[in-house]
Chain A
Amino acid sequence: QQPVQSPQAVILREGEDAVINCSSSKALYSVHWYRQKHGEAPVFLMILLKGGEQKGHEKISASFNEKKQQSSLYLTASQLSYSGTYFCGRPGFNKFYFGSGTKLNVKP
């Protein structure tokens, strides 16, 4: 039920890039991306609905593959504020499941 994310954790220097992957064994209706800071609720980043879709802006963007079983989140020229745990999420029938999470730590 729960999507699998990789890597589990990543450490970056400011200005470096990162890619976070989210995989599902079954095709997804849609994929959502959230970021959570320690002790806080998750914050919505974006949603992708269509296979082959790419979305976002210059610094944070995401893609959804044609088969709708994998999504990737791209963080470009990372900033300190990007630190946190990133979750992908997928809706089920009247349910919503989060991925396993990727902890991102951006250092000066």
Chain B
Amino acid sequence: GAVVSQHPSWVICKSGTSVKIECRSLDFQATTMFWYRQFPKQSLMLMATSNEGSKATYEQGVEKDKFLINHASLTLSTLTVTSAHPEDSSFYICSAARDGGGTEAFFGQGTRLTVV
């Protein structure tokens, strides 16, 4: 399968600071990238969908100004958690798809964010 690299794997930051998470498709061009958030023992909740060169589409209830998503190229999408608070602590996972997710989507390793 295709390889998606997500970085960092884990990060601890102080309240009020911003954290950037990168998601790269290493061996294919990802027209679409999805960003998920997962709380312990819960499912993956779609936060937003990003398409290369256009603004991300956010799910209802997800703050656009807090979770900034940029999909500058066909191989890179970034999620920036701005002014992080302890309640933002979670597991964040990206996935990349060639065709909008209709066929297989490939996942990054995930990022464990802890805000203290």
Interface residues of A (CB under 8 A from B): 2, 29-30, 32, 39-44, 47, 87, 89, 91, 93-101, 103
Contacts and interface: CB of A to CB of B under 8 A. Distances in A.
B77 interface: no
A89 B49 CA distance: 15
A42 B107 contact: yes
Given A40-B110, A41-B108, A41-B110, A95 B42 contact: no
Contacts, number: 64
Interface in B88-115: 91, 93, 95, 97, 100-110, 112
A98 B107 contact: no
B109 A40 contact: yes
B110 A96 contact: no
B105 A96 contact: yes
Interface residues of B, number: 30
B51 A94 contact: yes
Interface centre among A44, A99, A103 (most CB of B within 10 A): A44
Tell me the interface secondary structure of chain B in the complex: strand
Interface of B: 1, 6, 32, 34, 36, 41-46, 49, 51, 57, 91, 93, 95, 97, 100-110, 112
A95 B34 contact: yes
A22 to B, nearest CB: 12
Given A29-B102, A30-B102, A40-B109, A94 B43 contact: no
9 contacts: A39-B91, A39-B110, A40-B109, A87-B43, A91-B100, A94-B51, A94-B57, A95-B57, A96-B34
